[in-house]
Amino acid sequence: MKILLTGATGYIGKRLLPILVAQGHEIICCVRDKNRFYCPKEFENNVSVIEVDFLNRESLNEIPIDIDAAYYLVHSMSGAASNYDELESLSAKNFVERVNQTSAKQVIYLSGIVNDQSLSKHLSSRKAVETILNTGNYATTTLRAGIIVGSGSASFEIIRDLINKLPIMITPKWLNTKCQPIAINDVLEFLTKSLLNSVTYHQSFDIGGPDILTYKEMLLAFAKAKKLRRWIFTVPVMTPKLSSYWLYFVTSTSYKLATALVSSMKVEVVCRDSKINELLGVQPMSYEKALSRALVKVEEDQVASSWKDSLISGRFNNNISGYLKIPKKDCFIDRRKMEIINRDFTIERIWSIGGETGWYYGDWLWNIRGFIDKLFGGVGLRRGRTNKHSIRSGDVLDFWRVLYADKEKGKLVLFAEMKLPGEAWLEFKIIGNTLYQSATFRPRGIWGKLYWYSVLPFHGFIFKGMLRRLIR
């Protein structure tokens, strides 16, 4: 079958793609930026990639008309714009208009559980998208999930941050809200078993695991799985704004995402029924088992995808392609070079930079810079990195975004997503027996120039030390 996969660079899309390929389908991957899409060589015969911006109707003409079905995995927990709900609705309308012109028999939409009478803006937006998708000339299947538990999922990473960093928590009362978490493996099974399955046509289903828990119980269960003692006390006085700041400063989430999460966490997300389990023959695993599997993946450095690599986790609103060419005009550049002793050793050091490994020299200064960035509403250092030794275009490295990564050539280009009065790039490249390292800053006005000269004394200390340790 010929399947259209939207959101192919997202958390769910990255995990769904290899399953669909293994089932023998031909996959058309819809992405906004081809530079962020990684396709393993063994998939190349079954996968093609098209660039589509669902807010641009003309770009949807790239979608072939001979598709059999489509997955609509276009979500945004919080957009850069305050009217992200309107933009999501517009994207859905443009999608329906184009798919109506194709031979698609089914569209599968992964939404959120929307059974509460009072919904957050985020959940209301998902419900509105579902209504729009139902107007198409095809059969719509909507799968509604609550908290998705898996290595790299937003929920898992936030819970992990809270438990690892806070032995005692004074928390808002919404931690007593009930939800029905589901393992990522079960979500993928529901998505694949629904494909072109007529019993799911023109219907919406709630999908969840067997456990109904409060967020507090989920946190304590994680602590138990990690064999950590934690104490959680809830208070009724913490406002949504304070709650958002609490999540923002303690976890790796952005402030906008924290605000959307707090708003949604006040709403119960419990399944209406579990009839789809019998229809598709799926028996979802318990929360405890889902946690155990996720922790194993993290320990073994086998995280297939992470929410942190999505563009909304940082300051990017556009494609990364426009930043690939590092400017020289009107820029400040710190250039350094050093002869390498062992090429393979140096490349492995470069490809392991950031996250738990750190930046090899002056890590305390990097940590201070990350803390200051958080104070000013930036991403800080808490995003870390998805995998310890592999890097792909579009990944995050602390407060950097990977623009280009070619291990064979020994070239890595990073773009700063920290709060800056300008734009910054960090590049490593090996030519012959020499490692070239350059930090480029394009200032924005007088404040940008003042910023560069204020940090210049630290550059000689940090960048010189980092270059030396990448080689020796």
Place 319 in a pLDDT band, splitting at 50, 70 and 90.
low
Q: Are residues 284 and 389 in the same domain?
A: no
The pLDDT of 78-89, averaged and rounded, is: 69
Q: Are residues 106 and 208 in the same domain?
A: yes
Provide the mean pLDDT of the chain.
89
d(CA 306, CA 313): 10
d(CA 120, CA 269): 11
pLDDT of residue 68: 96
The pLDDT of 189-207, averaged and rounded, is: 96
Question: Does 365 have pLDDT greater than 90?
Answer: no
pLDDT of residue 195: 96
Could you tell me which residue, 79 or 324, shows the higher pLDDT? 324
Place 244 in a pLDDT band, splitting at 50, 70 and 90.
confident
Question: Does 317 have pLDDT greater than 60?
Answer: no
pLDDT of residue 81: 53
Which of 287, 308, 329 delimits the end of a domain?
Answer: 308
The pLDDT of 258-269, averaged and rounded, is: 77
Q: Are residues 52 and 90 in the same domain?
A: yes
Q: Are residues 207 and 339 in the same domain?
A: no
Q: Are residues 240 and 378 in the same domain?
A: no
List, for residues 374-395, the tens digit of each pLDDT value: 888 788 887 888 888 888 888 8
pLDDT of residue 222: 95
Question: Does 315 have pLDDT greater than 80?
Answer: no
Which of 283, 308, 333 delimits the end of a domain?
Answer: 308
For residue 362, the Cα-to-chain-centroid distance in whole angstroms is: 28
Q: Does residue 286 lie in a domain region? A: yes
69-72 vs 2-6, strand pairing mode:
parallel
List, for residues 323-358, the tens digit of each pLDDT value: 788 999 999 999 999 999 999 999 999 999 998 899
Name which of 47-61, 203-217, 230-244 the model is least confident about.
230-244
d(CA 24, CA 18): 10
Q: Does residue 313 lie in a domain region? A: no
Task: Region of 377 please: left (phi>0), alpha (psi -120 to 50) or beta.
Answer: left
Q: Bridge-partner residues for 232, per DSSP?
A: 169
CA angle, 347 as apex, 342 and 349 as ends, to 5°?
95
Q: Where are the beta strands (DSSP E) in 150-290?
A: 168-172, 178-179, 182-183, 203-207, 213-214, 231-235
Question: Does 2 have pLDDT greater than 60?
Answer: yes
Task: Region of 362 please: left (phi>0), alpha (psi -120 to 50) or beta.
Answer: left
Q: Are residues 355 and 287 in the same domain?
A: no
- Per the structure, the count of domains in the chain is 2
Helices (H), 100-198: 121-133, 154-165, 184-193
φ, ψ of residue 234 to 5 degrees: the values are -100, 140
The token pair that represents 3 in the structure block = 């399947």
pTM of the model: 0.88
The pLDDT of 234-244, averaged and rounded, is: 77
**What is the CB-side half-sphere exposure of residue 374 using CA atoms within 13 A?**
20
Q: Are residues 82 and 196 in the same domain?
A: yes
Q: Are residues 362 and 441 in the same domain?
A: yes
Q: Are residues 325 and 302 in the same domain?
A: no
The pLDDT of 134-157, averaged and rounded, is: 93
Place 257 in a pLDDT band, splitting at 50, 70 and 90.
confident
Q: What is the DSSP letter of 59?
A: G
Q: Do residues 39 and 106 lie in contact, with contact meaning Cβ atoms separated by under 8 Å?
A: no
Instruction: Assign 69 to helix, strand or coil.
Output: strand
Question: Does 242 have pLDDT greater than 90?
Answer: no
Task: Provide the percentage of residues in the chain whose pLDDT is more than 70.
Answer: 96
Place 76 in a pLDDT band, splitting at 50, 70 and 90.
low
* Structural domain range at position 352: 318-471
The token pair that represents 288 in the structure block = 């405890």
